[in-house]
Amino acid sequence: MPSPATLGLCALASLALLVIPGPAVLFIVTRSVEHGRRVGLASVVGVHLGTLVHVAAAALGLSALLVSSAGAFSVVKYVGAAYLVGLGLHRLLSRPDPEAGADPLARAGSVRTALAQGAVVNILNPKVALFFLAFLPPFVDPRRGPVATQVVVLGLLYLCLGILSDGAYALTAAAVAKRLRGRAGERGRLVRRGRVASGVVYLALGALAALTPRHTAAARSG
């Protein structure tokens, strides 16, 4: 197990990275503004279910395999990029359902969709695997037990802090959007602008994922 001092240093380093908005934060904020608090928080949970997959992969050495194999990296990178571009085009080309009521995007299916999309977006982001490969090893001490166990503990620490940080982003974004929706005539414009903004964000994230260099590992995953 990592020492208390190591856990403290890892926590501080994690927080320093997490407060910087990355692709995952942009995804969460966009969903929160457009769909509200419940869907925003579901996006947070989905994103960090994806993070959990990468923690497990790092512990099993799969992240190292992903980085060492150009083919594996390219497949994951372009599948993830295509998924994000598809989301962006869907937002830009589709129209809101006028019969959905005062909160058309707060349906039960929207929560499940946000959960699934958040997980897929993070799982298919090769920068997350690269991030854990670069970030966790300095905090691992083979003298303190199995490396895999230490990676899991450190990864779960990062994940818990990420849920708190990204949850704060989701709640703040949803609260600001709710205040704007309460103004006469603002709701319709906000929904339309939110869909356009989210579409542009998804397209940008897809382009960013497609252009990720294979050996770029130091940047925050999101």
Residue 138: which domain range? 24-210
Domain assignment present for 218:
no
Residue 149: per-residue pLDDT:
85
Domain assignment present for 150:
yes
Residue scoring higher pLDDT (209 or 199) = 199
Domain assignment present for 135:
yes
Domain assignment present for 17:
no
Listed in sequence order, the DSSP H helices in 94-216 are 108-123, 126-135, 147-181, 186-210
pLDDT above 60 (res 176): yes
In tens, the pLDDT along 25-67 reads: 888 888 888 888 899 999 999 999 999 998 888 888 766 666 6
Cβ pair 145, 3 in contact under 8 A:
no
Cβ pair 208, 23 in contact under 8 A:
yes
Q: Tell me which DSSP letter residue 102 carries.
A: S
Domain total of the chain = 1
What pTM, to 2 d.p., does this model score?
A: 0.70
pLDDT above 90 (res 193): no
Helix (H, G, I), strand (E, B) or coil at 216: coil
Max Cα–Cα distance, the chain, nearest Å:
63
Domain assignment present for 217:
no
Residue scoring higher pLDDT (87 or 21) = 87
